[in-house]
Structure 1
Amino acid sequence: MNKMTVAVLGGGNGAHALAVDLTNRGYSVNLYEMPRFKQNMKKVFETKTITSIGVIQGTFEMNMVTDDIEEAIKDVKYIVILTPAFAHTDYARLLKGKVTADQVIVTIPGAFASLKIKNIIGDDPCPVLVDANNLMYDVRLVEQGKVNILELDKIELGFLPTAAEAELMPELNDMFDICGTFHDVLECGLALVNPALHSGACILNAGPIEYVNNDFYLYEHGLTPSAIKVSVSLDRERKAVAKVFGYEVNPFHCFPNIRHIEERGEEYEWQDLYRAAHGDIGLTPIQGPNDIFSRYLTEDAPCGLVPWSNIAKAVGISTPTIDSIVNLYSVFHEIDWWEEGVTLDDLGFTGLTRDQIKKYCETGEK
């Protein structure tokens, strides 16, 4: 039985994997890429197919591959944005005025995307917005039109408004492997995995990352004891922010032993995370980054660490480790990430109290 058509927006590793996965599940996929990046997936535009190796194998034909956004989303209920977080604002502006209230925008990973999209769309008809806490694939593009999906993970979702969850979950459970839901999109954004896990390894391995001839693997080489300790500090600061809003977040859900420790009501130590991260079959084969301008840094800083810190300041929480990483990245990149990163205004939180922020994240109303 043929299932519905889903629009997948994006042309990178994750979008290719999602297009393959959904097609494999029986969905029809409209794959969209912005015109200025079309050349990067020329083969997919020409053949309308993507070949996959790894845990999903085969060649999969898309319903449509297009650089026309209106064509991509026409008569489609679900629009899935799967791009680096720094592209979310561009996509929100692209979709403004073109989407309808009966459509659903799912952003993977979310990184507060629903709040940014809501803030940009404003009083226009606004779809239901859904954020995922993480990408559900460990994946790399092998070449144009060919993707290697190393591992499939489960995701958790947050909804804006939260009342939409009950109606949409049966369909979303069929589209994705979902292991749970968050109270709202704010909790989802505070439960991102990458900014806490990557930043310690990136900040302490800037030299190896920049060294041109070094065959560097972040998860295998970069997650040293010292780097893991930084990641644990970032994690605990972010948890303190979440606790103010009544959330108990565990970003390292991808590591079962960490989840089990916290389910017992205990706090994991750096040694537990070190053991969990090393030898993970989906992570250790991933090569890179080999450039300090990699998204491992330039996505996690402005779209994860900066909003975490800004939200913390709004509710009176100190985040010295998070702030130190942002400050050092600003020096590395010669970019003021405090200026370029996600602000309270971007989230629609300016001037709101803790309780008003919670209400807005639950209802979309101020």
Structure 2
Amino acid sequence: MSKKPVFAILGAGNGGFVTAADLTLRGYEVRLFELAEFAATIEPILENDGIALRGIAGEGLAMPTLVSSDIEKTLDGADVILVIVPSMGHREIARVCAPYLKPEQIVVLIPGNFGGVLEFRQELLANGGTKDVTIAETTSLMFAAKKEGTNGIWARGLKQYLPLAAFPASRTDDVLAVLNEAYPQFVAVANVMETSLNNLNPIVHPAAMLTNVGFIESQRVPEWYFYKDGYTQGAGHIADQMDNERLALLTAFGLPEISATETLHRFYGHQGMNGDSLYSLFSESPVHSAALGPKSSENRMLSEDIPYGLVPYVSLAKMLGSATPMMDAAITMASVVNQTDYRKTGRTVETLGLAGMSVQQIQDFVNQ
């Protein structure tokens, strides 16, 4: 692409704020969209003439070209659409985009969690959208960031390595040819099964959420630090065991087995993140040390990471005959804690259209 790509960013949470500010300050045309029901999140940008960015991505007041709840205007003329919303919002974003997406546009879910691309494509087609649009996903958010005040965002961390794959996999290189100008840390992996099986949030977050649930629900301490205080050796042991179960699924697909510990080194080693276990990484992480703990057990670290991460992991594992006792236990505990049957509400091989397929059939489907 000879000209700079035009970016549409869908979602005005922490990830949307920081990405919109970063790209705007680096000279890209950016449109920031939020659904009308959440429009209050973008009003402070308009009232304060931009997003106030600070941290590892630089500092400045960034005013995107468009800040709106009009999806047609947001998508018109955009080259790349970055969907930076919780996984439970993927279907709704696909639905509102369906009438306006063009075949030449690129959609990237940041991240897809497990099966995000497959679910997004299902909803897009169900609502009359084009089957020719390219949809890709990453394994994680690019930034570790937190909103400040009314229109501010603090970028604590920026990954130097972030796997990406498109559906079908034959289009991944085309996506990177456009994206790498802005974010060279995006790297190609085999397909969306590899991105799905390398999302670490379902491994990392539930372990510390469940071992600290009494502390979270009692709210006796006004502020505590999720990683510095909550990531104890016990929480780390649980996460390490779930990671072993995740690695077994990668083995079944013949995909590279990269542990969570190694992946986090690749993400944040340049910022001093170091350790030989998840406990040692997180308890001393300079990137995560300021991350405050949640005040509710219904925080996304359970309400998203269980149904959109662990549930599909386990669903796939059962279909393939792979044991996941620790993941199963985490799903059961989270379901009881939050009085929600996440096995019924989450993504599964059935909802993602993978039921009954062999490993080779799944690989053929996502590679095409």
After TM superposition, the score normalised by the length of structure 2 is 0.91
Query: Structure 1 residue 212: deviation in Å?
Result: 1.7
Q: CA distance change for structure 1 residues 259 and 347 in 2, over 3 Å: closer, same or farther?
A: same
Contact 2:216/2:297 (CA < 8 Å) preserved in 1? yes
After TM superposition, the structure 1 stretch with the greater mean CA deviation from structure 2, 21-30 or 8-17, is: 21-30
Structure 2 counterpart SS, 1:175: coil
Query: Which residue does the alignment assign to 2:231?
Result: 223
- Are residue 256 (structure 1) and residue 265 (structure 2) matched? yes
The Cα offsets for residues 95-120 of structure 1, whole Å up to 9 and x where unpaired, read as 22321221110010111211111222
Equivalents in 2 of 1:354, 1:65: separation in Å? 43
Query: Which residue does the alignment assign to 2:68?
Result: 66
Query: Which residue does the alignment assign to 2:240?
Result: 232
Query: Which residue does the alignment assign to 1:109?
Result: 111
Q: CA distance change for structure 1 residues 246 and 2 in 2, over 3 Å: closer, same or farther?
A: closer
Query: Structure 1 residue 54: deviation in Å?
Result: 1.5
Equivalents in 2 of 1:343, 1:139: separation in Å? 30
The letter for the 1-side match of 2:143 is: Y
Query: Which residue does the alignment assign to 2:344?
Result: 339
Query: Structure 1 residue 47: deviation in Å?
Result: 4.6
The letter for the 2-side match of 1:228 is: G
Match of 1:125 among 109, 130, 146: 130
The Cα offsets for residues 105-145 of structure 1, whole Å up to 9 and x where unpaired, read as 00101112111112222374131111110111111001221
The Cα offsets for residues 9-62 of structure 1, whole Å up to 9 and x where unpaired, read as 001001000101111222111000000011133111345511111222110111
Match of 2:140 among 131, 134, 137: 134
The letter for the 2-side match of 1:243 is: T
Equivalents in 2 of 1:150, 1:41: separation in Å? 21
Contact 2:112/2:137 (CA < 8 Å) preserved in 1? yes
Query: Which residue does the alignment assign to 1:167?
Result: 174
Runs of 5+ in structure 2 lacking a partner? 270-274
Match of 2:311 among 291, 306, 309: 306
After TM superposition, the score normalised by the length of structure 1 is 0.91
Equivalents in 2 of 1:209, 1:186: separation in Å? 34
Equivalents in 1 of 2:227, 2:239: separation in Å? 13
Query: Which residue does the alignment assign to 1:357?
Result: 362
Equivalents in 1 of 2:341, 2:278: separation in Å? 31
Query: Structure 1 residue 249: deviation in Å?
Result: 3.6
The Cα offsets for residues 258-314 of structure 1, whole Å up to 9 and x where unpaired, read as 999xxxxxxxxx963322222211111110112101111111001100010111112
Q: CA distance change for structure 1 residues 60 and 86 in 2, over 3 Å: closer, same or farther?
A: same
Runs of 5+ in structure 1 lacking a partner? 261-269
Q: CA distance change for structure 1 residues 259 and 240 in 2, over 3 Å: closer, same or farther?
A: farther
Contact 1:82/1:108 (CA < 8 Å) preserved in 2? yes
Equivalents in 2 of 1:259, 1:316: separation in Å? 34
Query: Structure 1 residue 356: deviation in Å?
Result: 1.3
Equivalents in 1 of 2:120, 2:3: separation in Å? 31
Equivalents in 1 of 2:268, 2:320: separation in Å? 27
Q: CA distance change for structure 1 residues 172 and 179 in 2, over 3 Å: closer, same or farther?
A: closer
The letter for the 2-side match of 1:67 is: S
